[in-house]
Structure 1
């Protein structure tokens, strides 16, 4: 019996090692490399010097300034300056210059913003403007570097069919490249699917409360939790979810407190910290649809970004 039991232990350990190897190797090397390059381009400064001796070799020294601007998020509240440099706001600008903002997004390259497909069906009009680098709208006294970009085009996932919110993901392409700095640079794409992630950070300029309807001009952050497959039981089938919750393509995220995303947050990201780079985040989900805004223990559904990596990479390859 002892020999058989020991054999089972060996088999179990071997299986766990295989799973670990598969997890490590499942990380897309292109995404890992790109994430590192973004970090280096913004946060690392290389200088050269040499001793004042003839033919002395040049010595290069790199200063890494990649540190976190904020402590770990507990609860929620206003975002700090430079805390979320990938945060984007999407809107429609009329011919007279008047802009109505209605969705969020995430900068994922120097030309592309990730958002929800349903944001491109807004009654306010098509998305034709994106603002990056802002913190509080309609003020110039905050520590921000807002810049508006016109939209060249956008692509909805081919599996999206309005009004259902499956495959609720789209990529907006900007008309000019973004110059990266501490106020504006991309979030990294996911290294894994987020199933084992215990909590996320959601950000957006959406309403702070569903009733009364309150306009919000400050970027907000909130810590939310992974409810795994709970949404299978809390989400009724309707026009938006004709087949109910899909755990393969959606994340189920919420809180047991009055903490939530709300109207106006659609398209914005749910994030986790990069394990090695405290100045960087991964965009794990896209705010998609809520069951009831600001209701404790009633999680909402977010598009699972990792599932769509191949499609996203195809969009990034377009110039």
Structure 2
């Protein structure tokens, strides 16, 4: 009963956060009056949301402002003219926090010290985007994550300043369920289009399917996965065709559409590991975000307290 009560409180908190983000970004409050002395002003809210059609046939470039929570993580080198090496993805989940994969914090590319938000095409300056770089003040992997293992592959990256929410940049919502009832998801990222090749300059989107328990059959026992697929903490997602995530997409989200707020998304999973890219009927492993809600909400609460005197919106 206590766990059920905590789950209900958590759901109420998630609903409130999501509603706040929606109002902050899409609702405009205007005042009207009859222009006569002493007449009261009547305030009305106008919803400026223009939802995107929830249908993705195959991998395709994302539309402008379609995924305003998309983040790209990288390392800025102070010894190489501040050149940035981008190597992972992430999801904006509050005004200062990015959700990503824990293994992104333990690569040979250097520490994650820069995050870009509001980007669409890295090679274009006329793509209706509003790119902005943020420095990183702290990174925290889940306390149960052990480097080189792919279990509990989830982490939080803290930005050095607050993100101003608008149609180009605002958070994704936390999941309301574990994802098992979802037949499809949307994966996004700037990763490689094929196993051997360069990362994409454009933010790409692809529709993937829930493979349920199939990963228990397709996931081999390895040093990174010594007990195989963990159905409690991982999602099994893939495609029967040539659609997939790939290298460079790590840490990015798999999403579902918010049924009540058309312009909002739930982050259901974090891209973690795959056997190979673009292999039909061989699903990949994604960290199941719902399993880690208690930890995520605690991180969000701690950050709000830390910056209690800073205006969030």
Residue number in structure 2 paired with 1:18: none
Query: Does residue 87 of structure 2 align to residue 99 of structure 1?
Result: no
The reply to whether residue 133 of structure 1 matches residue 118 of structure 2 is yes
Q: Give 1:69 shift.
A: 3.5
Misfit runs of 4+, over 3 Å: 24-27
- Cα distance in 1 for partners of 2:199, 2:94 equals 29
Secondary structure at the counterpart of residue 145 of structure 2:
coil
Equivalent in 46, 52, 59 of residue 69 of structure 1: 52
Corresponding position: 1:182 with 2:167: yes
- For the residues of structure 1 that align with 2:199 and 2:26, how far apart are their CA atoms? 34
Is 1:206 equivalent to 2:191 in the alignment? yes
The answer as to whether partners of 2:54 and 2:257 remain within 8 angstroms in 1 is: no
Tell me by how many angstroms 1:57 deviates: 1.7
Aligned to 1:269: 253
The alignment yields a C-alpha RMSD, in angstroms, of: 1.5
Aligned-pair distance for 1:49?
1.6
Task: Tell me which of 244, 252, 269 is aligned to 2:236.
Answer: 252
Give how far 1:155 is off: 0.8
Task: Write the mapping of 1:98-117 to structure 2, written as runs, cut at 5 A.
Answer: 98-117=83-102
Q: Aligned residue for 1:87?
A: 70
Task: Measure how far apart 1:289 and its partner are.
Answer: 0.4
* 1:50, distance to aligned residue in structure 2 (A): 1.2
3-state SS of paired residue (1:29): helix
Compare CA radii of gyration and give the structure with the larger one: 1
- The answer on 1:172 being equivalent to 2:127 is no
Q: Does 1:286 align with 2:270?
A: yes
Aligned residues: 297
Aligned 8 A contact 2:73 2:116 in 1: yes
> Counterpart in 1 of 2:30?
47
Select which of 32, 35, 44 maps to 2:15: 32
Match of 1:156 among 122, 141, 148: 141
The whole-number CA distance in structure 1 between the counterparts of 2:269 and 2:66 is 18
TM-score by length of 1: 0.90
Q: 2:106 aligns with which of 121, 135, 146?
A: 121
**Equivalent residue in structure 2 for 1:218, among 167, 187, 202:** 202
Structure 2, unpaired ranges of 5+:
307-313
Query: Is the 1:27–1:192 Cα contact (8 Å) retained in structure 2?
Result: no
Residues of 2 paired with 1:294 and 1:268: CA distance? 17
Q: Deviations over 1:260-306 (max 9, x none)?
A: 00000000000000001111000000000001211000000000000
Deviation at 1:63, TM superposition (A): 0.5
